[in-house]
Copies of this chain bind each other. A is one copy, B any other.
Amino acid sequence: MSWNRRHLLDIASLDAGEITTILDTAREFKAVGQRPIKKTPALTGKTVVNFFVEPSTRTRISFELAAMRLSADVINFSVDASSFRKGETLKDTARNLEALNADIFIVRHQASGAPHFLAQFLKGSVVNAGDGAHSHPTQALLDVFTIREHKGDLKGLNVAIVGDILYSRVARSNIWALTKLGANVTLCGPSTLVPRVFEQMGCRVTYDINEAIESADVINLLRIQHERQRQTMFPSIGEYSKLFGLNQARFARTKPDALIMHPGPINRGVEIDSEIADCERSVVLEQVTNGLAVRMAVLFLVNGGAKSAQPVD
Protein backbone atom coordinates (compact mmCIF):
# COMPACT_ATOMS: atom_id res chain seq x y z
CA MET A 1 0.00 0.00 0.00
CA SER A 2 1.63 3.25 -1.10
CA TRP A 3 -0.39 6.45 -1.30
CA ASN A 4 0.44 9.83 0.16
CA ARG A 5 -0.96 12.21 -2.42
CA ARG A 6 -3.68 14.77 -1.92
CA HIS A 7 -4.36 15.16 -5.64
CA LEU A 8 -4.57 13.02 -8.77
CA LEU A 9 -3.37 15.29 -11.55
CA ASP A 10 -1.77 12.99 -14.10
CA ILE A 11 -0.24 9.57 -14.54
CA ALA A 12 3.24 10.85 -15.36
CA SER A 13 4.02 11.74 -11.74
CA LEU A 14 2.84 8.43 -10.28
CA ASP A 15 5.15 5.47 -9.78
CA ALA A 16 4.16 1.88 -10.50
CA GLY A 17 3.48 1.25 -6.82
CA GLU A 18 0.99 4.09 -6.61
CA ILE A 19 -0.78 2.95 -9.75
CA THR A 20 -1.01 -0.53 -8.30
CA THR A 21 -2.43 0.85 -5.06
CA ILE A 22 -5.23 2.53 -7.01
CA LEU A 23 -5.93 -0.65 -8.97
CA ASP A 24 -5.99 -2.79 -5.83
CA THR A 25 -8.33 -0.35 -4.09
CA ALA A 26 -10.57 -0.20 -7.17
CA ARG A 27 -10.93 -3.98 -7.05
CA GLU A 28 -12.49 -3.69 -3.62
CA PHE A 29 -14.83 -0.92 -4.75
CA LYS A 30 -15.87 -2.86 -7.84
CA ALA A 31 -17.37 -5.42 -5.47
CA VAL A 32 -19.52 -2.67 -3.93
CA GLY A 33 -21.18 -2.14 -7.32
CA GLN A 34 -22.15 -5.80 -7.39
CA ARG A 35 -23.82 -5.90 -3.99
CA PRO A 36 -27.56 -5.37 -3.48
CA ILE A 37 -26.75 -2.23 -1.47
CA LYS A 38 -24.19 -0.43 -3.63
CA LYS A 39 -23.11 2.06 -1.03
CA THR A 40 -20.37 2.47 1.51
CA PRO A 41 -20.05 5.23 4.13
CA ALA A 42 -16.38 6.01 3.41
CA LEU A 43 -16.95 9.68 2.46
CA THR A 44 -20.02 10.44 4.58
CA GLY A 45 -20.25 14.16 5.25
CA LYS A 46 -17.63 15.06 2.64
CA THR A 47 -18.44 17.55 -0.12
CA VAL A 48 -17.39 16.70 -3.67
CA VAL A 49 -17.64 19.37 -6.38
CA ASN A 50 -17.92 18.32 -10.01
CA PHE A 51 -16.22 21.40 -11.46
CA PHE A 52 -16.66 20.95 -15.21
CA VAL A 53 -15.55 23.88 -17.35
CA GLU A 54 -15.67 21.63 -20.42
CA PRO A 55 -18.98 19.80 -20.76
CA SER A 56 -19.06 16.02 -20.35
CA THR A 57 -22.10 13.99 -19.45
CA ARG A 58 -20.52 10.54 -19.17
CA THR A 59 -17.46 11.36 -17.12
CA ARG A 60 -19.46 13.66 -14.87
CA ILE A 61 -22.08 10.98 -14.21
CA SER A 62 -19.41 8.38 -13.50
CA PHE A 63 -17.75 10.64 -10.93
CA GLU A 64 -21.11 11.77 -9.52
CA LEU A 65 -22.24 8.22 -8.93
CA ALA A 66 -18.82 7.26 -7.54
CA ALA A 67 -19.14 10.03 -4.96
CA MET A 68 -22.76 9.09 -4.16
CA ARG A 69 -21.81 5.45 -3.58
CA LEU A 70 -19.18 6.66 -1.15
CA SER A 71 -22.00 8.57 0.62
CA ALA A 72 -20.50 12.00 -0.15
CA ASP A 73 -22.61 15.08 -0.94
CA VAL A 74 -22.09 16.05 -4.59
CA ILE A 75 -22.49 19.49 -6.13
CA ASN A 76 -22.47 19.85 -9.92
CA PHE A 77 -20.91 23.09 -11.13
CA SER A 78 -20.86 23.02 -14.91
CA VAL A 79 -20.02 26.13 -16.83
CA ASP A 80 -19.24 26.75 -20.45
CA ALA A 81 -15.80 28.29 -20.75
CA SER A 82 -16.94 30.73 -23.40
CA SER A 83 -19.60 32.07 -21.09
CA PHE A 84 -17.32 32.00 -18.06
CA ARG A 85 -18.48 34.71 -15.80
CA LYS A 86 -17.05 37.97 -16.95
CA GLY A 87 -14.81 39.59 -14.43
CA GLU A 88 -14.18 36.45 -12.43
CA THR A 89 -11.12 34.29 -12.89
CA LEU A 90 -10.94 30.50 -12.74
CA LYS A 91 -8.97 30.91 -9.53
CA ASP A 92 -11.64 33.06 -7.87
CA THR A 93 -14.41 30.68 -8.88
CA ALA A 94 -12.50 27.73 -7.46
CA ARG A 95 -11.68 29.54 -4.22
CA ASN A 96 -15.32 30.48 -3.82
CA LEU A 97 -16.35 26.86 -4.19
CA GLU A 98 -13.66 25.88 -1.70
CA ALA A 99 -15.03 28.42 0.77
CA LEU A 100 -18.08 26.14 0.97
CA ASN A 101 -15.72 23.69 2.72
CA ALA A 102 -15.50 21.45 -0.30
CA ASP A 103 -13.23 18.46 0.19
CA ILE A 104 -12.60 17.26 -3.37
CA PHE A 105 -12.70 19.09 -6.69
CA ILE A 106 -13.17 16.99 -9.80
CA VAL A 107 -11.92 19.26 -12.56
CA ARG A 108 -12.44 19.07 -16.29
CA HIS A 109 -11.12 21.95 -18.36
CA GLN A 110 -10.26 22.43 -22.01
CA ALA A 111 -6.96 24.06 -21.02
CA SER A 112 -4.05 21.74 -20.30
CA GLY A 113 -2.73 22.31 -16.80
CA ALA A 114 -5.87 23.81 -15.29
CA PRO A 115 -6.12 21.11 -12.56
CA HIS A 116 -2.41 21.56 -11.69
CA PHE A 117 -2.95 25.30 -11.43
CA LEU A 118 -5.90 24.86 -9.08
CA ALA A 119 -4.02 22.30 -6.98
CA GLN A 120 -1.40 24.92 -6.17
CA PHE A 121 -3.69 26.94 -3.95
CA LEU A 122 -6.78 24.89 -3.12
CA LYS A 123 -6.72 23.31 0.32
CA GLY A 124 -8.98 20.49 -0.88
CA SER A 125 -8.05 17.65 -3.21
CA VAL A 126 -8.03 18.05 -6.98
CA VAL A 127 -8.82 15.14 -9.31
CA ASN A 128 -8.14 15.71 -12.99
CA ALA A 129 -11.14 14.57 -15.06
CA GLY A 130 -9.50 15.58 -18.34
CA ASP A 131 -7.53 18.72 -19.20
CA GLY A 132 -7.11 19.71 -22.84
CA ALA A 133 -4.99 17.26 -24.79
CA HIS A 134 -2.82 16.70 -21.73
CA SER A 135 -4.11 14.10 -19.34
CA HIS A 136 -7.13 12.00 -18.40
CA PRO A 137 -5.72 9.89 -15.61
CA THR A 138 -8.87 8.04 -14.49
CA GLN A 139 -9.47 6.87 -18.07
CA ALA A 140 -5.97 5.39 -18.23
CA LEU A 141 -6.42 3.80 -14.81
CA LEU A 142 -9.70 2.16 -15.78
CA ASP A 143 -8.05 0.91 -18.97
CA VAL A 144 -5.12 -0.72 -17.17
CA PHE A 145 -7.52 -2.02 -14.49
CA THR A 146 -9.56 -3.72 -17.23
CA ILE A 147 -6.46 -5.17 -18.88
CA ARG A 148 -5.17 -6.47 -15.55
CA GLU A 149 -8.49 -8.17 -14.81
CA HIS A 150 -8.24 -10.11 -18.07
CA LYS A 151 -4.51 -10.55 -18.54
CA GLY A 152 -3.03 -10.37 -15.06
CA ASP A 153 0.37 -8.70 -14.89
CA LEU A 154 0.89 -6.09 -17.62
CA LYS A 155 4.62 -6.70 -17.87
CA GLY A 156 5.54 -7.64 -21.42
CA LEU A 157 2.02 -7.33 -22.81
CA ASN A 158 1.71 -5.84 -26.29
CA VAL A 159 -0.83 -3.01 -26.37
CA ALA A 160 -1.78 -1.27 -29.62
CA ILE A 161 -3.44 2.15 -29.47
CA VAL A 162 -5.04 3.17 -32.73
CA GLY A 163 -6.36 6.54 -33.86
CA ASP A 164 -5.88 10.23 -33.12
CA ILE A 165 -2.90 10.05 -30.76
CA LEU A 166 -1.68 13.59 -31.19
CA TYR A 167 -4.67 15.36 -29.70
CA SER A 168 -5.71 12.62 -27.32
CA ARG A 169 -5.33 12.95 -23.57
CA VAL A 170 -6.59 9.38 -23.33
CA ALA A 171 -3.65 8.17 -25.45
CA ARG A 172 -1.10 10.21 -23.49
CA SER A 173 -2.32 8.98 -20.12
CA ASN A 174 -2.52 5.39 -21.35
CA ILE A 175 1.03 5.50 -22.64
CA TRP A 176 2.29 6.64 -19.23
CA ALA A 177 0.30 4.05 -17.31
CA LEU A 178 1.13 1.16 -19.64
CA THR A 179 4.84 1.84 -19.88
CA LYS A 180 5.15 2.34 -16.12
CA LEU A 181 3.57 -1.07 -15.62
CA GLY A 182 5.93 -2.67 -18.15
CA ALA A 183 3.71 -3.08 -21.23
CA ASN A 184 4.99 -2.58 -24.78
CA VAL A 185 2.98 0.15 -26.51
CA THR A 186 2.48 0.43 -30.27
CA LEU A 187 0.82 3.52 -31.69
CA CYS A 188 -0.91 3.54 -35.06
CA GLY A 189 -2.99 5.98 -37.07
CA PRO A 190 -2.70 8.57 -39.84
CA SER A 191 0.83 10.00 -39.88
CA THR A 192 -0.54 13.48 -39.27
CA LEU A 193 -2.02 12.27 -36.00
CA VAL A 194 0.79 9.94 -34.87
CA PRO A 195 4.06 11.84 -35.10
CA ARG A 196 7.33 9.96 -34.54
CA VAL A 197 8.06 12.10 -31.50
CA PHE A 198 5.96 9.64 -29.46
CA GLU A 199 8.85 7.19 -29.78
CA GLN A 200 10.55 9.29 -27.14
CA MET A 201 7.85 8.18 -24.69
CA GLY A 202 9.03 4.61 -25.23
CA CYS A 203 6.42 3.63 -27.82
CA ARG A 204 6.72 1.98 -31.18
CA VAL A 205 5.07 3.99 -33.99
CA THR A 206 3.69 2.34 -37.11
CA TYR A 207 1.37 3.47 -39.87
CA ASP A 208 0.50 -0.10 -40.87
CA ILE A 209 -2.62 -1.17 -39.01
CA ASN A 210 -2.04 -4.86 -39.67
CA GLU A 211 1.42 -4.70 -38.21
CA ALA A 212 0.05 -2.86 -35.17
CA ILE A 213 -2.66 -5.34 -34.30
CA GLU A 214 -1.27 -8.73 -35.30
CA SER A 215 0.96 -9.15 -32.28
CA ALA A 216 -1.24 -7.17 -29.89
CA ASP A 217 -2.64 -8.67 -26.69
CA VAL A 218 -4.79 -5.58 -26.32
CA ILE A 219 -6.16 -3.27 -29.04
CA ASN A 220 -7.40 0.11 -27.83
CA LEU A 221 -9.30 2.00 -30.53
CA LEU A 222 -9.62 5.71 -29.85
CA ARG A 223 -12.68 7.67 -30.81
CA ILE A 224 -12.43 9.78 -33.97
CA GLN A 225 -13.74 13.15 -32.85
CA HIS A 226 -15.48 14.01 -36.08
CA GLU A 227 -17.57 16.65 -34.39
CA ARG A 228 -14.47 18.81 -34.00
CA GLN A 229 -12.29 20.23 -36.73
CA ARG A 230 -9.97 17.25 -36.86
CA GLN A 231 -11.07 16.38 -40.37
CA THR A 232 -8.35 18.56 -41.80
CA MET A 233 -5.90 16.01 -40.44
CA PHE A 234 -7.16 13.14 -42.61
CA PRO A 235 -9.13 12.88 -45.85
CA SER A 236 -12.51 11.67 -44.58
CA ILE A 237 -14.28 9.45 -42.07
CA GLY A 238 -14.79 6.86 -44.78
CA GLU A 239 -11.11 6.91 -45.63
CA TYR A 240 -10.17 6.65 -41.94
CA SER A 241 -12.46 3.68 -41.50
CA LYS A 242 -10.99 2.00 -44.59
CA LEU A 243 -7.40 2.57 -43.53
CA PHE A 244 -7.57 2.17 -39.74
CA GLY A 245 -11.00 0.85 -38.71
CA LEU A 246 -11.11 -2.59 -37.08
CA ASN A 247 -13.14 -4.48 -39.67
CA GLN A 248 -13.74 -8.23 -39.94
CA ALA A 249 -10.75 -8.83 -42.22
CA ARG A 250 -8.37 -7.17 -39.79
CA PHE A 251 -10.08 -8.76 -36.78
CA ALA A 252 -9.36 -12.19 -38.30
CA ARG A 253 -5.65 -11.42 -38.14
CA THR A 254 -5.62 -10.57 -34.42
CA LYS A 255 -4.53 -12.97 -31.72
CA PRO A 256 -7.47 -15.16 -30.65
CA ASP A 257 -7.44 -13.74 -27.14
CA ALA A 258 -6.68 -10.11 -27.97
CA LEU A 259 -8.87 -7.71 -25.94
CA ILE A 260 -10.80 -5.04 -27.87
CA MET A 261 -11.07 -1.74 -25.99
CA HIS A 262 -12.56 1.66 -26.74
CA PRO A 263 -13.01 4.65 -24.38
CA GLY A 264 -16.48 5.35 -25.84
CA PRO A 265 -18.73 6.58 -27.15
CA ILE A 266 -18.04 4.34 -30.11
CA ASN A 267 -18.72 5.29 -33.71
CA ARG A 268 -20.00 1.99 -35.06
CA GLY A 269 -18.60 1.39 -38.52
CA VAL A 270 -15.87 3.99 -38.14
CA GLU A 271 -13.22 2.95 -35.61
CA ILE A 272 -14.80 -0.45 -35.19
CA ASP A 273 -17.16 -2.79 -36.99
CA SER A 274 -20.47 -3.00 -35.18
CA GLU A 275 -20.33 -6.77 -34.61
CA ILE A 276 -16.80 -6.62 -33.25
CA ALA A 277 -17.88 -3.94 -30.78
CA ASP A 278 -20.38 -6.42 -29.36
CA CYS A 279 -18.26 -9.56 -29.58
CA GLU A 280 -17.03 -11.58 -26.61
CA ARG A 281 -13.56 -10.10 -26.71
CA SER A 282 -14.87 -6.54 -26.57
CA VAL A 283 -14.61 -5.10 -23.04
CA VAL A 284 -16.06 -1.68 -23.86
CA LEU A 285 -18.86 -1.91 -21.29
CA GLU A 286 -16.58 -3.44 -18.66
CA GLN A 287 -14.46 -0.33 -19.07
CA VAL A 288 -17.47 1.76 -18.04
CA THR A 289 -18.14 -0.41 -15.01
CA ASN A 290 -14.49 -0.34 -14.03
CA GLY A 291 -14.37 3.44 -14.47
CA LEU A 292 -16.82 3.80 -11.64
CA ALA A 293 -14.75 1.53 -9.38
CA VAL A 294 -11.51 3.33 -10.24
CA ARG A 295 -13.10 6.71 -9.54
CA MET A 296 -14.41 5.52 -6.18
CA ALA A 297 -10.87 4.37 -5.38
CA VAL A 298 -9.33 7.69 -6.43
CA LEU A 299 -11.82 9.78 -4.43
CA PHE A 300 -11.25 7.53 -1.44
CA LEU A 301 -7.46 7.70 -1.66
CA VAL A 302 -7.02 11.43 -2.27
CA ASN A 303 -9.24 12.04 0.75
CA GLY A 304 -6.66 10.23 2.82
CA GLY A 305 -8.93 7.24 3.09
CA ALA A 306 -6.28 4.61 3.33
CA LYS A 307 -5.19 6.14 6.62
CA SER A 308 -8.53 6.97 8.12
CA ALA A 309 -11.16 4.50 7.01
CA GLN A 310 -11.88 1.07 5.63
CA PRO A 311 -12.56 1.33 1.89
CA VAL A 312 -15.55 -0.97 2.07
CA ASP A 313 -17.59 -1.71 5.14
Interface residues of A, Cβ cutoff 8 Å to B? 33-39, 44-47, 57-58, 61-62, 64-65, 68-69, 73, 75, 77, 79, 85-89, 92-93, 95-101, 226-227, 264-268, 270, 285-286, 288-289, 292
Contacts and interface: CB of A to CB of B under 8 A. Distances in A.
B34 A45 contact: no
A288 to B, nearest CB: 4
B92 A266 contact: yes
B45 A38 contact: yes
B64 A75 contact: yes
A38 B87 contact: no
A75 B87 contact: no
A266 B38 contact: no
How many copies of the shown chain assemble into the complex? 3
A87 B270 contact: yes
Given A39-B44, A75-B64, A268-B89, A33 B292 contact: no
Contacts of A39: 44-45, 73
B227 A86 contact: yes
21 contacts: A33-B100, A34-B101, A38-B47, A38-B73, A38-B101, A39-B73, A47-B65, A61-B75, A61-B77, A61-B97, A62-B100, A85-B265, A87-B265, A87-B266, A87-B267, A87-B268, A88-B265, A96-B265, A99-B285, A99-B288, A101-B289
B266 A88 contact: yes
Contacts of A75: 61, 64-65
A275 to B, nearest CB: 14
A100 B288 contact: yes
Nearest to A46: B38
A9 to B, nearest CB: 23
B79 A73 contact: no
Interface centre among A77, A89, A288 (most CB of B within 10 A): A288
B45 A37 contact: yes
Contact of A285 (B36, B88, B95): B95
A219 to B, nearest CB: 19
Interface centre among A45, A62, A270 (most CB of B within 10 A): A45
Contacts of A61: 75, 77, 97, 100
